[in-house]
Structure formats: C-alpha cells, structure tokens
Structure 1
Amino acid sequence: MSGKPTLFFDLDGTLIDSEPGIINGIQHVFASMQQPVPDAASLRPWIGPPMRDSFQSVFGEEAQVAQALALYRQRYDTLGWTELTVYTGIPELIATLKAAGHRLAVVTSKNERSARQILANLPFGTSFEEIVGASDDGQRRFKSDLIAEALRRLSLSAEACVMIGDRRMDIEGAVHHQMRCVGVLWGFGDREELTTAGAGAIVQTPAELEACFA
C-alpha cells in the first residue's frame, strides 16, 4: 500500500505504566464492598481487558457490578488517573513518528473520559488525532469495537492502519479487522500471549518499534 500507515496505540501497558492507579482502584473496590482484597500480583491480568467484564467474573449480580464500577471510577477519576509513569523512550518515539508523517490515534479499553484526561496532561498527548475509549455505558468496550469506532471517526480502512499494544486483546482486535499489528513486550503481556493472539511482529523496546516504521 502507498503512504504511511496510521498508527493506533493502546494506552495502558503501551504508552504508560498505569499499574499503580488501576491496582489501587481495584483493591479499593474489594475493600469498600467488604470482600477479601487480592494482592497486586493476582490483579495484574486485570490490566487490559474491559474492567466491567473483570468485575462480572467476581460479582455475579449486575447491581454489584454496577456498584463496583462506580466505586472504581470514583477513585480513578479523582486519584487513580495520576498514578502512572510514561515508559522510557515513548515521548521520543511519538515525536519521531509524528514528524515522519504518521497519523496517530489512541485506541484503549479504558473509559474514554479517563483516557482523554490522562492524555491531556501528558506532553505528547496533543500528537494524537483521535482518542477512542470505552463508552460510559459499557456498550463499546471490546477492542474490535473500539478499532471499528476509530476507523469510523478517522474515515480510514483497516489496511491503512497498524494496531500497537501489549495484550492479546489488542492483537485479537486487529486480527478481527485483518489489520496489521505489533505486540510490545514492555507492558503487561508476554511473548507467548502476543504470538498466540497472532501478532505480526513483536518488539522489546520503543526504539525497535520505531525501526518497524523507518
């Protein structure tokens, strides 16, 4: 294909290490609902999939799921969204790709309001033409649906884009659309997870990712 591909970036585990804010928020929910609080290690797999589905796997009743989500968002909106660090090399990567002429977007399972709040406070946040996240009602939360929404908003075809992410959901969402995809190893997924999901390439550093598009 001609022209430079538009690059869709996942957020958590790809651009930012958001583990503290997410884990602290989940633990806050369990404590508030008077449930045994899981340790941080057992909650790491929760980073990436839609939070609604993770809570549904623990709290069977919809009313409890709604309560858990409300408690989580309440803490995340006030404090959790600040508990993050940007991965080393990411600001330079984004600047280089933008300067090279790539259109950039964020496509995340995180609530869209939270994603926009985070990116508005990062120095490279303005580099992204669009930010697509989960809807408040949870109807739009799976990666395939989020990618579809990004394609719609940007008036793009799947073959004109590349999805970049750290978990199988990112890769599976791209595969669903027959979109090229790159898995990154500095986040929350491992090589086996990304390979099994169908990643077209896997990189260990932002510099390696930059080289994919040089």
Structure 2
Amino acid sequence: MYDLVLFDLDGTLTQSEFGIFSSVQYALEKFGIHETDPKNLRRFIGPPLYVSFSEFYGLTGDDGELAVKYYREVYEKDGYKEAPVYDGIKDTLKALKAKGKRLMVVTSKPQEMADRVVENVGVAEFFDAVVGPGREMLSPSKTDLINKALKLAGSDGKDAVMVGDRKFDIEGANGAGIDSVGVLYGYGSREELETAGSTYIVDTPAQILDVV
C-alpha cells in the first residue's frame, strides 16, 4: 500500500465552514456584497482565497488582494478556531500511525495559519510536517505543494497518496503523479471527485484505512 499519506486540511481533517463563512461574509460586506447562501459560501473551501474572490465575485487585482486582507482580519483572530475535526478523524490518524505510516498535511491555507489550526484541533502530534504556501502567495498550486511535501519526505511519490475532499486535491495529486483518495464527508461531491480522477473514493474517515 502506501507509506506516506498526505492530508488536505479544510473539509478533510476539519469541518471548517463555520470560521470560513463568517470571514468571507465580512470581506464581501466591505465591497457592498451581502452573501448569505451557504452554497455560494461553500465554494471558498478548497481553492486559494484570491482565486475564489476573483472567480466568484469579480474582485481582481488590488480589490482581490484587499478582499483576502479583510478575510484574514477575521479568520486569523477567531475564525480558525471554528473548525472542529470530523468525527472519526483522530481514530483514523491513530490507526495509521500504529501501522507505521508517515503523515503530512498539505494545504492551500497559508503555512502559519495551517500550523495554528492543526495545533488548535489537537492533531499536531500525528503529523511529521505541515506544508502550506507563504502568505504572499495568492494562487498557490496544489501540485507544487504536494511536490514540496514529497521532497521534504524524501519520497519519489510511488509510496505516497493524497487524501482530500475537492477536485483541487485530486488534480494536484494527478499533477504530482501520485494516487489519491477522495472523501465524501467533506465539501466535494462524488461527481466532482470522479471527474477529477480520484483513485479511490470513501464515505467516512474510517474507510480511509481500507485503501491506504
């Protein structure tokens, strides 16, 4: 099977919508945009923030960068704390470590914030490293982040698998030449994960153990 298991953060380890939604709403309000539809807000979970503000609300250039700044004003104060781990995640991580697996977090969330989230929810002990982009990177590539994690782990990718809930995770894994596990308990649909080319698809955290 696999020796190195890479986990996405939002929607895979943590149910992060609570803090993200309120932070997005705050940022949009600064531009006179009142958004209350959970379906629209949920689109922000997965892709880089700048990409989401640009693609979904036309906030590009300086406006896009300002939207990211406003978002972080709320998220970095309290929003990151509103992201509990999914039921069963800690048991799954414990079981993987008991099998001798190496675990890493690979996320588009800025490195500094990813470290704080992982520590806050009490799963830092399970991971060898947390890999995320620098704060200055507005459109980080998931493939680049995965490759960075592989290099850090000294892996050629043949023994590695990426676990995530959105197409960005699966496409990132494909770009890095590694297998992937799409999870349906997060924010992506089966259709999205299948279309992206996920190697495996599971319904629950416990089922991750069956394929890795």
TM-score by length of 2: 0.94
The residue type equivalent to 1:156 in the other structure is: S
Kindly indicate whether the alpha-carbon contact (under 8 Å) linking 1:21 and 1:82 is maintained by their aligned counterparts in 2.
Answer: yes
Q: Which residue of 2 aligns with 1:193?
A: 192
Q: Which residue of 2 aligns with 1:77?
A: 76
The residue type equivalent to 1:34 in the other structure is: G
Q: Which residue of 1 aligns with 2:173?
A: 174
Kindly indicate whether the alpha-carbon contact (under 8 Å) linking 1:11 and 1:108 is maintained by their aligned counterparts in 2.
Answer: yes
Q: 2:138, 2:187 → 1: CA distance?
A: 24
Q: Which residue of 2 aligns with 1:7?
A: 5
Q: Which residue of 2 aligns with 1:51?
A: 49
Counterparts in 2 of 1:140 and 1:51: CA distance versus 1, 3 Å = closer
Kindly indicate whether the alpha-carbon contact (under 8 Å) linking 1:46 and 1:54 is maintained by their aligned counterparts in 2.
Answer: yes
**Farther-moved stretch of structure 1 (112-121 vs 28-37):** 28-37
Structure with higher strand content: 1
Aligned length: 211
TM-score by length of 1: 0.93
Q: Which residue of 2 aligns with 1:132?
A: 131
The CA RMSD measured in Å over matched residues stands at 1.5
Aligned-pair CA distance for 1:139:
5.8
Kindly indicate whether the alpha-carbon contact (under 8 Å) linking 2:48 and 2:139 is maintained by their aligned counterparts in 1.
Answer: no
Q: 2:92, 2:103 → 1: CA distance?
A: 12
Q: 1:37, 1:198 → 2: CA distance?
A: 32
Aligned-pair CA distance for 1:5:
1.8
Kindly indicate whether the alpha-carbon contact (under 8 Å) linking 2:51 and 2:139 is maintained by their aligned counterparts in 1.
Answer: no
Q: 1:49, 1:200 → 2: CA distance?
A: 20
Q: Which residue of 1 aligns with 2:146?
A: 147
Identity of matched residues, %: 39
Q: Which residue of 2 aligns with 1:40?
A: 38
Kindly indicate whether the alpha-carbon contact (under 8 Å) linking 1:134 and 1:140 is maintained by their aligned counterparts in 2.
Answer: no
The residue type equivalent to 2:52 in the other structure is: S
Runs of 5+ consecutive residues of structure 2 not aligned to the other structure: none
Q: Which residue of 2 aligns with 1:28?
A: 26
Kindly indicate whether the alpha-carbon contact (under 8 Å) linking 2:50 and 2:138 is maintained by their aligned counterparts in 1.
Answer: no
